[in-house]
Structure formats: C-alpha cells, structure tokens
Amino acid sequence: MKQISRRKFLQTGIALGALPLVAKSEPTMQTQQNLKFIHITDSHMDLQDNDSVEALELAVAFINKEYPDIHFVLFGGDNFNNNVPGDADAKKFKSIIEKLHCPAYLVRGNKESSPKPKGDPLNFQDFQKMFWSDAKLQQDGKNWLLDTHGYLVLGLDSNIENQNNGRYTKETIAFAKKALDTGRPTIILNHHPYLNYWKGSDAKDIYKYVLNNAAEVIEELFGYNNLLLTLSGHKHIDNVSTIKNTTAITTRGFIRALDLDQYPMRYLELNGTSLTHKLIYTT
C-alpha cells in the first residue's frame, strides 16, 4: 500500500472518484480544515429507567448551551437498550437527539443488534431508516460515510447480530480502505475497541469487548497515514492510545453507576492533523 504523508494529503485535492458511492468532493485545499464535535457512547437509554432518559435529555440541553459551535455529535452505539417490544425506545431516543442544535450521526452497538425480546421488529433496516435519513450520509451496506469540512467520517458497523462480541466483515474493511485510498483525512466511528487497553486477563472478557479480528483490521487500515482518529466504546472505560500513527480513543461510557449524575462525553477538535480533546460532563 502506498503511503501518503500527512502534509501531502492536506495539500492535494484528491477527489472521491475511486469510491463509487461518494459524490466527487471539492479539493481539500478549498475546504475548511477545522472540525469540532462531541462523541457520546454507551448512553444505554432505557424506558424502564427514567434516570437514563433524563440523562440524555440533560446532555442535549448541556450541549446546546455550552457547545453551540460544534458541527455534529457522534453516537457510538449502545445508544438505547432495545429491550422493549416494538420501537418505542428508538423513537424516544430519536425525539430527544432531534433537539440538538446540530446533526447527530449514529452507529449501532451490540444492544441495537441484539433486540430483546429476540425477534423484536427493530432490526438493522429499521435502525437505518430511522437514524440514517440525512442526505449527507453515503451508505453502503451497514456502513456510512460523511464528507464534511475537509474530512471523511466513516461510521462502521462492528456488530455480530445477537452477540456481544464484534468483528469487521470483509465488506466493511473494503469500504474503509476505499475511503482511505483517497488520501483524505479520515475519522472512524465504531462500537468495539481495537485493543485490550484495560490489560484484562480473562479470555472471555477480551473476546466480548475487543474487536475479534482487531489484528487484521489494524494491519489493513492503521497503516494509512491519513487515518487520523478512531472512536469506540463498549467497555465503558476511558482510554487514549496510539496504534501505528493513529489516535485510537475509547470514550468512557455515558451511563456509569458511580458517576452520580455526571455523564461523560468527549469534546474533540481537529485543525488539519492536530487533535485536541477532553472529557466533559453534564454536571
């Protein structure tokens, strides 16, 4: 794979013609190289837990007040617990996040891909129809791409239906590689982390939480210099690591029993290839 220096991909206007599902974009030199956004993962909104519903409403109000200039919010999966018959929880989640002053973009977690009761009508197609209606999202299978402010944001599905563990399919890896092959600065959003960053020794725990084909994914994707950032969740434990040249962040779970109404999110800002970020709390 041919490597492209960080300076080179910021100086060249490589179009997305090699990626069939994406419309041709303007040259990178002419796009705004600044991006501000918030990452929320594992909000676990549950209609049987009023506190979890109120927490999400509080987060939306907090973001609208304290971060009026962000471009969007990324939700990293396990957004709602998907444990009631029908789609009432999905509809409630959607009604809350629609009050954000900016767009919200979602990927699924194992909760959305493992409905309870089993066979619940909210399957992937229902999730897609409900949450991926933004015309800016270029969709391919269970994945999407957003071309915005000079960056590509990829929403990759890492779930195995009705399982807690996860892996990337060959189609997902190919989708990501086509985007990365353009040389454009890229962010990946998914649910399962790539590393056993908490240094666990329980094989079952590692199997449940770490992307099962992480070694393959790291080999295939993380050699690209233009993969600036990945954002994951699932384990609920915060971590910032470097995989090859990429900053790999797992944001602390939004719902944590010991947080006493302090609900964590991560604010991030990209200026060219320079990244700044911090955990923020609603209270």
For the four alpha carbons of 229, 21, 106 and 134, in that order, the dihedral sign comes to positive
DSSP string, 88-134: HHHHHHHHHHTTSSS-EEE---TTTTS-SSTT-S--HHHHHHHH---
Phi, psi (5° rounding) for residue 192? Answer: -85, 135
Tell me the pTM.
Answer: 0.88
Whole-angstrom distance, CA of residue 270 vs CA of residue 229: 10
In whole numbers, what is the pLDDT of the chain averaged over residues?
Answer: 89
Contact 135, 88 (CB under 8 A): no
User: Residue 69's CB: how many other CB atoms inside 10 A?
Assistant: 7
- pLDDT tens readout for residues 132-156: 999 999 999 999 999 999 999 999 9
- The values of phi and psi at residue 274, to 5°, are -90, 125
Cβ neighbours of residue 20 closer than 8 Å, sequence gap 6 or more: none
Model pLDDT for residues 75-120, shown as the tens digit of each residue: 999 999 999 888 999 999 999 999 999 999 999 999 999 888 776 7
Distance (Å, whole) CA 194 – CA 158 = 11
pLDDT at 58: 94
Give the pLDDT of residue 150: 94
What is the per-residue pLDDT for 258? Answer: 57
For residue 159, the 8-state DSSP code is B
Q: 232-275 pLDDT, tens per residue?
A: 999 999 999 999 999 999 999 998 655 667 899 999 999 999 99
Query: What structural domains and CATH numbers belong to the chain?
Result: 6-281 (3.60.21.10)
